[in-house]
A and B are shown apart, each in its own frame.
Chain A
Amino acid sequence: MGSVSLYRAETRRLLKRRFTKLFTIGALLILAAVAAGVFFTNHKVGTDQIAEAKGKAHAEYLRSVASTEQVRKDCEAARGTSRAGEFPPNCELAAPAESDFDPEWYLPATFDFKKGFPDMVTTMAAVLALVGFVIGASFVGAEWNSGGMMNLLLWRPRRLQVLGTKLSAFLVAMTGLTVLVAAIWTAVFYGIASLRGVTTGLTSGTWQSLGLMELRALVLVLVAGALGFGLASLGRHTAMALGVAIGVIVIFQFGVGTVLAIAHVKFPELYLAPFWVIAWMAKKYVAEDYNSCNFDVGGGCQPDTLTITWQMAGSALAIILVLVVGAAMWTMRKRDIT
């Protein structure tokens, strides 16, 4: 009963906070803008669009033939003059073939749900993870900063239970938000594909794969939220989490990225967080070292590769999560509240 009432109070507190509302609305507006952008830049391809594309391809072919013919004439005229060197010997110019002009190139952009939606899931995950990080940090950081945490502990002198319940209430709320947004996101893009693209090739396996990807998006959002919460709790201020985030981006991503590039480290992506996130969302990320050369059967040069799998990325996320949240819980238990 006691824990339930605390959980309810924390959920109410989270949902009542203006910061939570503003940031959530902001994120939803960003996602709406992305969806609107995809809607307006894609078009349905029907017989009219195909006929128009074929017409454009044919016209382009004819322009190319005429242009080639003009060059041949110029070449013939330039024979024996100082400009002869500007043209091929004997004016041998290959005439363009109509097959060189694929009508598909002239089709308007169209949204293929099967191919395009995974990228949209990653976009959604990134936006919601950012929202989760900031709201999570603010939810506990503002409490520490304002003395609200101390007030709460005067009512509930069980530190770990209070922090744990607060974190649980936040993560459950973020789960609700992410599931709801993911469902709407899927419906919206299926609608966009129906109106401005194609929805072909969607087997049960495709849906399962998309479902699992959205599940990984949910995990990413929750981990980001818990990290923001944990860091702000460690520093007892929202700014601690935001400072660490900015520090990680500036020092470790840009700084380390530059140093690794200068030092010609073989796979710099291995040290950069965004590639681990991509690996987590897309199931793998293949880093390539273009300085190496492995001859293939055709005599071509293939670079060395290193694959970051989703299992590796998941393990890294779990380790960081355990370290940060564990440290937050430990300090909550041990440090005086002054």
Chain B
Amino acid sequence: MEAVLEIAGLQKTYRSRKGVRRALDGFDMVVEAGQVHGFLGPNGSGKTTTLRTLLGLIRPNGGRMAILGREVPEHLPAVAGQVGAIVESPQFFGNFTAWDTLSLLADAGGVRRQRVEAVLELVGLRDRGKDRVRTYSLGMKQRLAVASALLKEPKLLILDEPANGLDPGGIREMRTLMRTLSESGMTVLLSSHILGEIQLICDSVTIIAAGKRVATGSVADVLASHASSSVRVRLEPGIDLLGAAEILRAKGAQVDLGTDFFTVGNANNPAQITRILAESQIYVSELTPASADLESVFLELTGTAPVDGQNRQVDQVAAAGWGQ
């Protein structure tokens, strides 16, 4: 399949008085035509930096990027007309109406004005299009942002957290819209924290952590490749579940306590669990692979699963994998 977006070895370094921070450290990503591609990563992992770099807003320190087969940023002006994007939550002049906002963008981009009505209809703002943006809710502003990205009928649509502020109905509408756009042949790159949504609507995903790609492929492949790493553990009745969990945690396991069981998230070698517990005279009665969802895979890959008693800091990534 033809790649609409290719990123290879992308590097971005920020230098400040505090030192050097690698926001992107050789990041790779490929998005194929006609797909809805999820772009996932914890806060500060480099998602927005990647999107901004791709769109020419940030200058990379190294690496290669191409959109629709053209190298960017060199040929970005040539392909910009085919790329619709919103990066983070765009803000608009409160005193302009949605119609003003979009028609000004249409004028600037040489897009015919009729498109304004069409995209307002598409995102459900037709009846509020002549209202000032300052009267809009966050969700309505988000819809307006999506409308602005759709204005030029792009081949590639890049949306950074498009569901921010949307109500459940709005999230479902957005999901349907993404699907419709994808079926019409548009490629959608979707950055989001709503992993359930990504799992529902994305054909493929790329997961980034600490500026590097940690997983990529179809959603099914990513889930399958990490399904075995999480196991559910039951112990003999009457055994102190919390004490057992602490023993495993002391060895570096990521343990989530349930009512009468616990889950070890980074158990690449489940035999380790039985061995460590047996050393403490604790015997396992059940050890089953937990069915992985995208959230658990994401937490495992990015090392951002919450740990009891610890406040994880942004940029703090636990070492992935345990027991190998």
Using CB atoms and an 8 Å cutoff, list the residues of chain A in contact with chain B. 1-2, 5-6, 8-10, 12-13, 16-18, 142, 146-148, 150-158, 336-338
Contacts and interface: CB of A to CB of B under 8 A. Distances in A.
B73 interface: yes
B59 A148 contact: no
B80 A9 contact: no
Interface in B62-107: 73, 76-77, 80, 83, 85, 87, 90-93, 95-96, 100, 104-105, 107
B106 to A, nearest CB: 8
Contact of A146 (B91, B100, B107): B91
Contact of A150 (B57, B96, B104, B105): B57
Contacts, number: 76
A150 B160 CA distance: 14
B55 interface: yes
B182 interface: no
B314 interface: no
Contacts of A337: 52, 57-58
Contact of A148 (B52, B57, B93, B95): B93
Contacts of A154: 55, 57, 80, 83, 85, 87
12 contacts: A1-B110, A5-B109, A146-B91, A148-B91, A154-B87, A155-B80, A157-B56, A157-B80, A158-B77, A336-B59, A337-B58, A338-B58
B75 to A, nearest CB: 10
Nearest to B158: A154
Given A16-B104, A157-B76, 18 more contacts: A2-B110, A5-B108, A9-B104, A9-B105, A18-B95, A147-B91, A147-B92, A150-B57, A151-B148, A154-B55, A154-B85, A155-B108, A155-B152, A156-B109, A157-B55, A157-B80, A158-B77, A337-B52
Contacts of A336: 52, 57-59
Contacts of B76: 157
A148 B107 CA distance: 14
B80 A16 contact: no
A194 B309 CA distance: 87
A17 B95 contact: yes
Interface of B: 52, 55-59, 73, 76-77, 80, 83, 85, 87, 90-93, 95-96, 100, 104-105, 107-110, 148, 152
A35 B76 CA distance: 53
B87 A157 contact: no
Nearest to B107: A9
A332 B59 CA distance: 12
A5 B57 contact: no
Nearest to B14: A336
Contacts of A17: 93, 95
A10 B109 CA distance: 11
Contacts of A155: 80, 105, 108-109, 152
The 10 A-B residue pairs with the shortest CB-CB distance, nearest first, are: A9-B107, A9-B108, A337-B57, A157-B56, A336-B58, A157-B76, A155-B109, A147-B91, A5-B110, A146-B91
Given A8-B107, A9-B104, A16-B96, A338 B80 contact: no
A157 B108 contact: no
Contact of A338 (B55, B57, B91, B96): B57
A142 B92 CA distance: 10
Contact of B87 (A5, A9, A150): A150
B109 A153 contact: no
Nearest to A162: B108
A151 B90 contact: yes
Contacts of B96: 16
A306 to B, nearest CB: 46
A153 B57 contact: yes
Contacts of B73: 157
Contact of A153 (B56, B83, B91, B107): B56
A125 B286 CA distance: 87
A142 B93 contact: yes
Nearest to B75: A157
Contacts of A158: 77
A57 B110 CA distance: 74
Nearest to B90: A147
Nearest to A8: B107
Nearest to B56: A157
B95 A338 contact: no
A91 to B, nearest CB: 80
